[in-house]
Amino acid sequence: MPMIENLVEFCKEDDNKYNMGRYTRTTILKNKTGKQFYQRIVYPNIPRSNQDLYVFTTDEDRYDLLAFQYYKDASLWWVISTANPQYSGASLFPGGGLQIRIPFPIQNVINDFNAVNG
């Protein structure tokens, strides 16, 4: 578990480069009864780039750990998941032995995310 603990500690740091926690920039709305809820998050289309990396997964890989490995930010798991819809499903585990795309440059994806989510 030390790897997970280190990952959690990294994500708590104030200098997290992108600060892309799932609800960090999400608007909180209220319904007619005053109950609060988060506005729907829209994930952008992530076009292929000749800077993208292609890697083969292992059974232990998870999107959040891959995001931490390649972007130094586990909260960017959705980038890798969105770029590989054929493997995403409803799991953080893509499965072993699959070739997946790691999108680069990440800043372009973040800019697109911010544009579609206001």
Encode the chain (118 residues) as per-residue pLDDT tens digits.
Answer: 344 344 334 344 444 455 556 556 667 778 888 888 777 888 999 999 999 999 999 999 999 999 999 999 999 999 999 999 998 777 889 999 999 999 999 999 999 999 998 7
Spatial separation of the C-alpha atoms in residues 61 and 94, rounded to whole Å: 7
Cα Rg of the chain, angstroms:
15
